[in-house]
């Protein structure tokens, strides 16, 4: 009975051991590849197959899977001192954005054609930056960042063509000159800004003065034109008066004076003698209160008497 029980316990131990081994083997033979990665399976040290996202089985001990991240990655080109074309030391650093292309050949190239593509890209970017910025002055390097970025990306694309990676973009972060040069540049920029501000202020004052001058000119022109119009109006009025005088009063002024004298004389109930052949007799007769009378000596005069 003990032997039977002992045999049973031994068998259970064996069964458990077998199950554990099977589980370990099963676990070691199953590999999962995430959507962000791609896999390469090697069998006995030789490339065997490409593994996309999902679950894949591998033979334990015989096969081995290598996963490659195909997401975009940022690598920093560490700051370095670069001598520019005008013999100034500039501190320069940059960023490179890249990723492994997801096709099988590119994934294989990223593992088999280069040891560590991220580290290699950093060193290559630093060397390329020295070559590019070394041909430029400090001012040109600061003002032509876009051109430097494009030249750096083009150079990296050429150099990494067999690495299975894609250089997405490059960004030049900083180009810092020495401290004393930076202070001088700041003073120059400040002076330029003050110059521009002074020119703008002078232009504004000049424009304001020109506007005031134009306004005064317009005002003077308006005043002059108003005076001219007033003078022309007065001249026209005088002309009309003269025309009226010429038309209605020329030749009658003396007659009017005589009538005024007669009126004053008759007001005193006086008698006056006027020539008989003048028109004044007819005018006096029209007044309605006077009649002509002949003189005693029958001379060509008449007496005028008031009629009560």
More confident residue, 212 or 71: 71
Q: Containing domain of residue 287, as a range?
A: 254-306
Q: Are residues 287 and 200 in the same domain?
A: no
| pLDDT of res. 149 | 93
* pLDDT tens-place string over residues 135-175: 988 888 888 888 999 999 999 999 999 999 999 999 988 88
Of 233 and 123, the one with more pLDDT: 123
**Nearest residue to 111 via CA among 206, 176, 47, 178:** 47
Q: Which of 154, 177, 200 is the last residue of a domain?
A: 177
pLDDT greater than 50 at residue 38: yes
- Burial class of residue 96 in the structure, from the number of CB atoms within 10 Å of its CB (0-12 exposed, 13-18 middle, 19+ buried): buried
Q: Are residues 78 and 102 in the same domain?
A: yes
Instruction: Express each pLDDT in 53-104 by its tens digit.
Output: 999 988 888 889 999 999 999 999 888 888 888 888 888 989 999 999 999 9
- Do 77 and 115 lie in one domain? The reply is yes
CB 29 within 8 A of CB 57: yes
Q: What angle do CA 60, 61, 62 make, to 5 degrees?
A: 90
115 lies in the same domain as 164: yes
78 and 60 within one domain:
no
Q: What's the number of domains the chain is made of?
A: 4
pLDDT of residue 183: 66
Q: What is the CATH number of the domain that holds 100?
A: 3.30.479.30
* 237/281 same-domain check: no
What confidence category does residue 238 fall into, taking pLDDT thresholds of 50, 70 and 90?
confident
The fraction of the chain above a pLDDT of 90, given in percent, is 31
Q: Helices in 117-178 by DSSP H: which ranges?
A: 117-133, 138-143, 145-159
Tell me: do 291 and 239 sit in the same domain: no
Are both 150 and 188 inside the same structural domain?
A: no
What is the per-residue pLDDT for 4?
A: 47
Within this chain, do residues 143 and 236 fall inside the same structural domain, yes or no?
Answer: no
Shared-domain flag, residues 190 and 203: yes
User: Average pLDDT in the 252-258 region?
Assistant: 61
Model confidence band, residue 261 (pLDDT cutoffs 50, 70, 90): low
Cβ proximity of 175 and 141 under 8 Å: yes
Which of 127, 145, 177 is the last residue in one of the domains? Answer: 177
Q: Are 193 and 173 in the same domain?
A: no
Distances (CA, A) of 290 to 101, 131, 296, 307: 138, 132, 19, 6
Last residue of a domain, one of 146, 177, 208: 177
Where is pLDDT greater, at 272 or 205? 205
- Please tell me whether residues 11 and 24 are part of one structural domain: yes
pLDDT for the residue numbered 78: 85
Residue 275 clears pLDDT 80, i.e. is over it: no
Res. 27 pLDDT band, cuts 50 70 90: confident
């Amino acid at each position: 009975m003990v032997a039977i029980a002992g045999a049973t316990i031994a068998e259970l131990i064996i069964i458990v051991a077998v199950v554990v081994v099977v589980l370990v083997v099963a676990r070691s033979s199953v590999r999962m590849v995430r959507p962000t990665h791609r896999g390469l399976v090697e069998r006995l040290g030789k490339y065997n197959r490409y593994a996309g996202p999902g679950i894949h089985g591998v033979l334990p001990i015989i096969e081995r899977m290598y996963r490659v991240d195909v997401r975009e990655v940022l690598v920093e080109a560490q700051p370095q001192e670069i001598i520019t074309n005008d013999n100034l030391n500039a501190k320069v650093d940059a960023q490179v954005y890249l990723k492994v292309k997801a096709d099988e050949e590119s994934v294989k190239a990223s593992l088999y054609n280069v040891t560590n593509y991220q580290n290699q890209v950093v060193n290559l970017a630093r060397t390329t930056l020295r070559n590019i910025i070394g041909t430029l002055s400090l001012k040109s390097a600061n003002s032509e960042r876009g051109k430097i970025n494009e030249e750096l990306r083009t150079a990296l694309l050429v150099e990494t063509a067999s690495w299975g990676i894609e250089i997405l973009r490059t960004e030049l972060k900083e180009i810092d000159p020495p401290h004393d040069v930076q202070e001088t540049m700041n003073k120059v920029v400040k002076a330029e800004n003050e110059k521009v501000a002074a020119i703008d202020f002078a232009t504004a004052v000049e424009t304001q003065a020109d506007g005031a001058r134009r306004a005064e000119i317009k005002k003077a022109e308006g005043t002059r034109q108003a005076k001219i119009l007033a003078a022309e109006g007065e001249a026209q009025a005088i002309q009309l008066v003269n025309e009226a005088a010429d038309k209605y009063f020329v030749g009658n002024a003396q007659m009017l004076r005589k009538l005024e004298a007669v009126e004053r004389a008759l007001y005193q109930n006086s008698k006056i003698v006027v020539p008989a052949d003048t028109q004044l007799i007819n005018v006096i007769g029209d007044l309605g209160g006077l009649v002509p009378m002949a003189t005693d000596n029958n001379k060509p005069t008449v007496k005028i008497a008031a009629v009560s």
